[in-house]
Amino acid sequence: MSVLLPRFLRQLRRPLLPAGPPRRLRVPSRASSNGGGGYGGVEGLLRQRRQRRQQNAQAGSSHGPGSRAPPAQNSIVREVIQNSKEVLRLLQEKNPAFKPVLAIIQAGLNITHICLPPESGEDEIIDEILKINEDTRVHGLALQISENSFSNKVLNALKPEKDVDGVTDVNLGKLVRGDAHECFVSPVARAVVELLEKSGVNLDGKKILVVGAHGSLEATLQCLFQRRGSMTMSCQWKTPQLQSKLHEADVVVVGSPKPEDVPLSWIQPGTTVLNCSHDLLSGKLACGSPGEHFSGPITESDVSLLAAALRIQNMVVSGRRWLREQQYTRWRLHCLKLQPLSPVPSDIEISRAQTPKSVDVLAKEIGLLADEIEIYGKSKAKVRLSLLERLKDQADGKYVLVAGITPTPLGEGKSTVTVGLVQALTAHLNINSFACLRQPSQGPTFGVKGGAAGGGYAQVIPMEEFNLHLTGDIHAITAANNLLAAAIDTRILHENTQTDKALYNRLVPSVNGVREFSDIQLARLKKLGINKTDPGALTEEEISKFARLDIDPSTITWQRVLDTNDRFLRKITIGQANTEKGHFRQAQFDIAVASEIMAVLALTSSLKDMKERLGRMVVASDKSGHPVTAEDLGVTGALTVLMKDAIKPNLMQTLEGTPVFVHAGPFANIAHGNSSVLADKIALKLVGEEGFVVTEAGFGADIGMEKFFNIKCRASGLVPNVVVLVATVRALKMHGGGPSVTAGVPLKREYTEENIQLVADGCCNLQKQIQIAQLFGVPVVVALNVFKTDTRAEIDLVCELAKRAGAFDAVPCYHWSVGGKGSVDLAWAVREAASKGSRFRFLYDIQLPIVEKIRTIAQAVYGARDIELSPEAQSKIDRYTQQGFGNLPICMAKTHLSLSHQPDKKGVPRDFILPISDVRASIGAGFIYPLVGTMSTMPGLPTRPCFYDIDLDTETEQVKGLF
């Protein structure tokens, strides 16, 4: 292609239209129907130019006998090129970095981008095609290979949207159906037809013979001529009675070199002949009789030049389409129908009765591009972060947080409300919405509470895939966490058993006679103020300073983790084997979702940010009191490698086919309890300005919601529009003085029979949680999650008292029994509340001392009279302040079963002192977390865990017993 362009451009040297002021084009939604993809948005400009050129031509014809207008063929070529240049210029005005790229695969000639040997087989060519198909930098692909290689398998390996020569079955099929504006048409065939029409040949009723053409060129020519009313015949050079067919034809189109035994005299004088056998696009040369040329008004070079120009036009169209795809597009979501049954079956039965859409179909429906998803099986996929760059100029949708009152041990259905709300918004009100949920830990799944996919007819499906492993993010966190834990103890061992010189020689070994620092070691040298890069240049003092971290084992805060409830790992002794040479210490395991790496994943904004956060994680202090980080241990890069896939949100769907992101899963009582910032940000772009993103915070509003506002919103910069506060009659009765609720034990009759007094007394907790939300200036909509035992009187009382307490609205919800249809009223209430605006504010100034921030939360949110710090907690606060970590937000680790630190204190406890037993720092995640009372970071299993009911059908491989 590059060799032929100079010759092509030389013929276009004569001046084009005079330059004028830049023009902006109005781009309609549909392209023109002239074939080859059309221009749609530039048709107005093209019409204006054609009119001016016609006027110029008429003016030129009036100059007298000696004046001569330029040949029509040359004018056509120049017009196509100029129009293509104009469209490209306008595209680049808005997208300066955009450059349409054409890839050419050519076998045997060394003049193209991708040159394969002449003997390249079908598989080699297809391999190259598939690579270019996936290269987003390439917008068009052309093949210059031998005719023997033009098999259907090769041609249809091309992506139709990159097939600028119109050879794939998809493009040919659209042309045949009459959808030329949606496809690419062969530039050679278009050149033949347009040259005939511009030369004044009326094709209607003409007998046209296409001779020697093959494959897509032959099919395209026949289709284009037939559309113009021509009687088209097609044959090869060896066809019997060729002479009579040539004699009868008004127009002859030659698709391959004429054999010597076919004389030119067979063609009637005056017949229009067009020669496509010398094709600039394919690079093939005519090899007919030397010196023989077809005569006529249109030359061989005319076809070739116009075909090359039309290919350029197709390239510009392809680039324009690609740019259009990069912009936000309206959803074309096909929702799934529900057929609710009564009585409501088990969660897993409901999930299994619904057939989810293929996840690639769902992704396309919501505007994700094919290269923005990584598919895991049929029903889940990871979404790449590149989407945020593509949609960076797209306005965010509305941001809704689902929180709850202080729950019973059974949970009150925040995930179910979240799913029911998005099903109502999208499947029933036709409003774009996205649910953003946390990934469940297998601790509760096999322990007491069960899964977290929602319930009834408001679930994420398939629920067994949601609750078990998903795409392995928690396993990646476990691996990364425990690698860091191993690095800590191993470093202590080696420092205690080696001299400075031996330790340094092992840390910076000589490999093949070359000794070099790794990148992370160079970063440590810089941190230490040692500006040297030659390992042999360090002094003995510098060697000791570099090689020794001098970790104080008593200050280690980094624990090993496991995603299983195992009470016997709450305190262990490590290092008891003889090989550890007596270096043992007491340690513990935490549940995996309590790992700081989980919090980092949930709060990070990019891969680079995650790497920096992982490096900043403080694992201990040295013997001088300075913090020791993962970066100091040299493990940051390895942690990032383990987490590189986990950072991408997981796409799934609800029972009604609406989209869900499942990403990150920190507990709310021992961590900050919210799904990832990245999932929320991506969803807010995808739903569009009028759409809704509904995310959920763990446990009660006093825990998950407070941390959402003070920690997550600080990290993300996002501003919430509405809080949906979930309540149940069951939980309100408990707070009103009802009997204790225990998982696995049947509810007492107070909870299954109407009891207005208990409900009224328990609404104090609902009122308190509404007040907590109002501290942050966000409107509150109460969602009463209705159970079948709730009575109308109880429901009406709760809604009335909620509105009196300051809720914008209070709505009973029935999504569990009927799906999104049962939450339509909630959806309308949320939409109306969002339209009123939010006056969001943080609870405390981040610059306050650590103790004052803790006291503010305790008093304003929990209702405590004051706080009480243990000596250990005070010592940690002093250390973190001295180390420069005093300006971080606070993440309270507190029981979720009460506003106070005592789980049995229900309702709204008053006048209590909140004890702070310990304080830890998650510097990478970016918060300080005090431990309130005796807070365990490793749950235990009950007498009868959920795993008794979980089983696998070995015939069907279906999971049973999950809920």
Q: Which residues in 655-677 are b (16+ Cβ under 10 Å) and which e?
A: bbbbbbbbbbbbbbbbbbbbbbb
Among residues 284, 449, 803, 879, which one is catalytic?
449
Residue 571 DSSP label: S
Q: How many helices (H) and strands (E) does the chain have?
A: 34, 32
CA angle (805 as vertex; 801, 810 as ends), nearest 5: 60
Whole-angstrom Cα distance, residue 881 to residue 362? 49
Among residues 220, 272, 408, 416, which one is catalytic?
416
Is the bond preceding residue 903 a cis peptide, omega within 30 degrees?
A: no
Residue count of the chain, please give it: 963
Instruction: Calculate the CA 313 to chain-centre distance.
Output: 32
What DSSP letter does each residue of 382-433 carry, written as one string? Answer: EE-THHHHHTTTSPP-EEEEEEESSPPTT---HHHHHHHHHHIIIIIT---E
Q: Is 945 helix (H, G, I), strand (E, B) or coil?
A: coil
Give the residue ranges of DSSP H helices in 183-262: 187-198, 215-227, 242-248
CB atoms within 10 A of CB 540: 10
Active site residue 449: yes
Residues paired with residue 621 on neighbouring β-strands, in sequence order: 627
CB 403 within 8 A of CB 414: yes
Whole-angstrom Cα distance, residue 917 to residue 877? 12
Active site residue 787: yes
Whole-angstrom Cα distance, residue 595 to residue 929? 12
Among residues 8, 692, 816, 885, which one is catalytic?
816
First and final C-alpha spacing in the chain: 62
Distances (CA, A) of 90 to 5, 86, 162, 311: 23, 6, 21, 19
Phi, psi (degrees; rounded to nearest 5) at 572: -140, 170
Task: Give every CB contact of residue 147 below 8 A, 6+ residues apart in sequence.
Answer: 214
Residue 162 DSSP label: G
Residues paired with residue 574 on neighbouring β-strands, in sequence order: 585
Residues paired with residue 591 on neighbouring β-strands, in sequence order: 562
Among residues 390, 438, 821, 831, which one is catalytic?
438
Dihedral sign for Cα atoms in the order 772, 776, 781, 787: negative
Question: How does strand 866-869 pair with strand 913-922?
Answer: parallel
Among residues 150, 584, 787, 842, which one is catalytic?
787
Instruction: Indicate the helix (H) or strand (E) that contains 561.
Output: strand 560-562
Among residues 414, 524, 707, 853, which one is catalytic?
414
Active site residue 699: yes
- The burial of 123, by beta-carbon neighbours within 10 Å (0-12 exposed, 13-18 middle, 19 or more buried), is given as exposed
Q: Is 208 helix (H, G, I), strand (E, B) or coil?
A: strand
Residue 742 gets the label, from left (phi > 0), alpha (psi -120 to 50) or beta, of: beta
CB atoms within 10 A of CB 753: 9
Catalytic residues: 414, 416, 438, 449, 668, 699, 787, 816
